[in-house]
A and B are shown apart, each in its own frame.
Chain A
């Protein structure tokens, strides 16, 4: 050990005297400062870029002996081969450690003094050092391996290194949840280095099990690379032969590597399997005639849910009262419930067992006696299941855990049929997607919103942890269970739609007015009231513009960043998290709230605006070509800003849309640097121009408000699908009729509605329904 450290210290002197080290120091510091300036403390993502620099800097550890001619001497010196190699590796590690320490001090100073944001300092410390430690070790061992193969040929070593780095960059498509399961063994250091900061709400979930795996795998991999390097080096320097101890060491390193790689592979396979199960269920669902008629309407739900977080299970008892609103009697009740819930019993109101049949996500309950027209009935379902649903499609959908029960957090999304919904409502559509990597279209799942009409809701949730539970319904009661075994919550609403369920270690901050509650991480407690003020300010304005019929008690809910991960963050799919009747705010938003305006904060603010407006337009879609809801949302936001900033703002936005041309090279699923709430899309533009036509007509502000209210009313009644341009044309017809009834002449009505109608007809004729079609349209207009 003494020898190794002595060699390492001497090597450090060689390293420090070399220009390469100081180039590295300047380079990484510049990068760090730049990214700190750009994104503040999120900047540590650049650690992954450091890896590339480290690998290149390390080239020459061995080759320099050959290049300088010192190898002739070094090779006859009595130090052992492994001492020499290890000494050099330790020296590189120490030099990188010094650099890391210096950079960490810069970051810590920035975080503590320059950006007074509530950052979990120890999380930062741990994450930074763990990543740094692993990329340092990996880069050293990788370079050592390449070098010992290439001997003195530094050109070849550089070439192979460059190839290696390009390869891992290409293979590493996503750093979070979507790595192909075979990929982690190749480049986990890089992968891990790119991971996000731990959530302030859920810490490292859902990757908490990964840390030991990653550590073992990286250390095992590095040890193997080192031992193989040692073999080559020793063969050359001492013409050594393999000893038993060497073989044992290699075996041990391989065993460590394998023991952590196998769980990785299994983990990723399980994720893929989870997605495949959803896929096969979607196929089964697709084969059944969808019954989306409103013959059956829910009257009330009484739900009793037990969340066993350690087992990842949810046990549910649901009593559903529904009414036959059709003219005929009904013998069979179609229900939609996620496939991973196993139904134990289905009984009627009197407790008699009912016969039921399950296919995919659908359940058909056969009634003992037909339900006559206009009659109501109660059925009770007892079901349970392990909720651990991964959504791992590669291109166009949210990825990662989408429904889960776990000790860190529980999320059961609205519109994902976690409780029985009347009718056969496919949870996913199967769509064809043209990947940018392949010429062949691939079939993927596209999440739908399994919605239902408003009904009286009573939900009791029992959870085996000390966590807050949010459902989008007003909380009636929250009690601690005996001996710290968990908590129990009761929620009730006389009219609620599409409930969700989130359980997390939240701090609950209620607004003084009592009509809004913020659920946030403890570190964000100070910002909760600010968020409430921001939300209320907007809601008051929007309510005056379009009053909602069913005003709910509102929750502002913080969600950890892994649910809105980097990929999702930049796309329109963000909204698919789906929390009905709640304003979803991201962790980043709460972190950035006290800070000065940055591009990141502006983007988060845009998401916040959309989250508030999603109370009116839950189906808004910001991906190309946009949709009517997104257009309405965008217009409402423009009016809100106009109210704050004056007419000039509105005119600016109008000019923007008049000059706007769809960008032809937008990649599917990507939003680019969008400016407008609701997205910068063709449909959003047309909606703006239609509404502006009406506003500029003699109807004025009141007219456009009344027209918007009409569209909103229509969207509420067509709750289970998005408005299309035909709906828009009907709304225009109705609106015209209303104007006539109000005393406007036919000529006046024609003058007002001709322009908007022409626009709507043009859009209807385009039938823009998919990204691909939108793309071809863009090409045409180009």
Chain B
């Protein structure tokens, strides 16, 4: 097992439309499964895209084991597996062919090794039965799992997954969680979700982002402790909805103050 330490220092990202996606974030991510929690637009994907060398920050620095992700992209990419939130494949190819193609792009040029890796990944995400079918015939969930499989190719030491369980049925979601938990023992996984159950199931540590700022970093238990007395079970009726919305709003105001 390779020890990975991601250091994020004063990270900011402002897009061209002047939207501040990340605002002065500082945190450390160690080996294991690290969850990123936050509402839509909180900045999770932006942070992951920076970590995945897709975009560059406007301020601050991110290093992986001391290697700057901006200046040493190829070094980072050699150790990286990335599952974006939105992605696609060449629909003419079969699942196997597509993974083989990505394996080549990941530098697995030996044919035999490539075949083994692709088969392992396919087995891991439960796509063995449809491996030789065209991707155009795949369901959304299958494509999502194929995305997970491609991220696992090349034996990455850092796996970045942007909402990997989104759109999956409960069985497949559970299966992916198991895969993540299993892999998390060997490599560093950073993944984002807004599903608390995913975090509970597999994260050793997590961070909560809100409006581009880091509002919490710690273990899931610590977050649960923080939330004690502040969480309610609500029966979803029209009257109750108005009630809990006002409660949430007042809780936020208190927190801001």
Bound pair: A and B?
Answer: yes
Q: Tell me the A58-83 residues at the B interface (CB within 8 Å).
A: 64, 68-70, 72-80
B138: chain A residues at CB < 8 Å are none
With contacts A69-B87, A72-B87, A238-B73 taken as known, whether A14 is within 8 angstroms of B101 at the C-beta atoms is yes
Residue of A nearest to B97 (CB): A13
A288 at the A/B interface (Cβ < 8 Å)?
A: no
**Interface with A: B5-13, B48-56, B228-236, which one?**
B48-56
Contact with B along A1-31 (1 / 0, CB 8 A): 0110011001001100110000000000000
B154 at the A/B interface (Cβ < 8 Å)?
A: yes
B56:A79 contact, CB within 8 angstroms: no
**Interface with A: B78-86, B195-203, B211-219, which one?**
B78-86
With contacts A78-B106, A78-B154 taken as known, whether A10 is within 8 angstroms of B92 at the C-beta atoms is no
Q: Tell me the A428-463 residues at the B interface (CB within 8 Å).
A: none
A239 at the A/B interface (Cβ < 8 Å)?
A: yes
A68:B73 contact, CB within 8 angstroms: no
A72:B86 contact, CB within 8 angstroms: yes
Q: Tell me the B63-104 residues at the A interface (CB within 8 Å).
A: 70, 73-74, 77-78, 80, 82, 84, 86-93, 97, 100-102, 104
Closest Cβ of chain B to A16, distance in Å, is 10
B165 at the A/B interface (Cβ < 8 Å)?
A: no
Pick the residue among A3, A14, A68, A239 that contacts B109 (CB under 8 A): A3
Pick the residue among A3, A13, A69, A78 that contacts B77 (CB under 8 A): A78
Q: Number of B interface residues, CB 8 Å?
A: 32
Contact with A along B87-128 (1 / 0, CB 8 A): 111111100010011101111010000000000000000000
B82:A13 contact, CB within 8 angstroms: no
Closest Cβ of chain A to B90, distance in Å, is 6
B109: chain A residues at CB < 8 Å are 2-3, 6
Closest Cβ of chain B to A194, distance in Å, is 35
Closest Cβ of chain A to B45, distance in Å, is 11
Question: In the docked arrangement, what's the CA distance between A122 and B187, Å?
Answer: 61
Q: Number of A interface residues, CB 8 Å?
A: 25
B23 at the A/B interface (Cβ < 8 Å)?
A: no
Pick the residue among B52, B90, B91, B92 that contacts A76 (CB under 8 A): B52
B93:A13 contact, CB within 8 angstroms: yes
B144 at the A/B interface (Cβ < 8 Å)?
A: no
Question: In the docked arrangement, what's the CA distance between A2 and B114, Å?
Answer: 14
A76:B77 contact, CB within 8 angstroms: yes
A68:B82 contact, CB within 8 angstroms: no
Question: In the docked arrangement, what's the CA distance between A75 and B74, Å?
Answer: 11
With contacts A64-B90, A68-B91 taken as known, whether A73 is within 8 angstroms of B82 at the C-beta atoms is yes
B74:A70 contact, CB within 8 angstroms: no
B101:A72 contact, CB within 8 angstroms: no
Pick the residue among B74, B77, B88, B150 that contacts A68 (CB under 8 A): B88
Question: In the docked arrangement, what's the CA distance between A13 and B102, Å?
Answer: 13
Question: In the docked arrangement, what's the CA distance between A69 and B84, Å?
Answer: 10
With contacts A14-B93, A80-B74 taken as known, whether A75 is within 8 angstroms of B54 at the C-beta atoms is yes
Question: In the docked arrangement, what's the CA distance between A28 and B141, Å?
Answer: 41
Pick the residue among B87, B106, B147 that contacts A79 (CB under 8 A): B106
Pick the residue among A6, A70, A72 that contacts B90 (CB under 8 A): A70
A583: chain B residues at CB < 8 Å are none
A694 at the A/B interface (Cβ < 8 Å)?
A: no
B104:A68 contact, CB within 8 angstroms: no
A84 at the A/B interface (Cβ < 8 Å)?
A: yes
B54:A72 contact, CB within 8 angstroms: yes
B107:A78 contact, CB within 8 angstroms: yes
Closest Cβ of chain A to B15, distance in Å, is 15
B105: chain A residues at CB < 8 Å are 7, 10, 74, 77-79, 84
Residue of B nearest to A8 (CB): B104
Residue of A nearest to B101 (CB): A10
A73:B90 contact, CB within 8 angstroms: no
Residue of A nearest to B82 (CB): A76
B80:A78 contact, CB within 8 angstroms: yes
A7: chain B residues at CB < 8 Å are 104-105
Question: In the docked arrangement, what's the CA distance between A181 and B82, Å?
Answer: 53
A68: chain B residues at CB < 8 Å are 88-91
Pick the residue among B74, B84, B91, B100 that contacts A73 (CB under 8 A): B84
Residue of B nearest to A72 (CB): B84
With contacts A7-B104, A78-B74, A78-B107 taken as known, whether A14 is within 8 angstroms of B90 at the C-beta atoms is yes
Residue of B nearest to A80 (CB): B74
A76: chain B residues at CB < 8 Å are 52-54, 77, 80, 82
Question: In the docked arrangement, what's the CA distance between A769 and B102, Å?
Answer: 73
Question: In the docked arrangement, what's the CA distance between A84 and B74, Å?
Answer: 13
Contact with B along A191-213 (1 / 0, CB 8 A): 00000000000000000000000
Pick the residue among B78, B91, B93 that contacts A78 (CB under 8 A): B78
Residue of B nearest to A69 (CB): B88
Closest Cβ of chain B to A382, distance in Å, is 74
Question: In the docked arrangement, what's the CA distance between A70 and B150, Å?
Answer: 11
Question: In the docked arrangement, what's the CA distance between A648 and B84, Å?
Answer: 83
B86: chain A residues at CB < 8 Å are 69, 72
B150:A73 contact, CB within 8 angstroms: yes
Could you give 15 example pairs across A and B, Cβ below 8 Å? A10-B104, A10-B105, A13-B97, A13-B101, A68-B90, A70-B87, A70-B88, A72-B54, A72-B84, A77-B106, A78-B105, A78-B107, A79-B104, A80-B74, A84-B105
Please name 4 further chain A to chain B contacts, defined as beta carbons within 8 Å, in addition to the given A14-B92, A17-B92, sorted by A numbering: A69-B88, A70-B88, A76-B54, A79-B104
For the complex of A and B, list the 6 residue pairs with the smallest distance between their C-beta atoms, beginning with the closest. A69-B88, A78-B77, A72-B84, A77-B105, A68-B88, A76-B82
A interface, CB within 8 angstroms of B:
2-3, 6-7, 10, 13-14, 17-18, 64, 68-70, 72-80, 84, 238-239
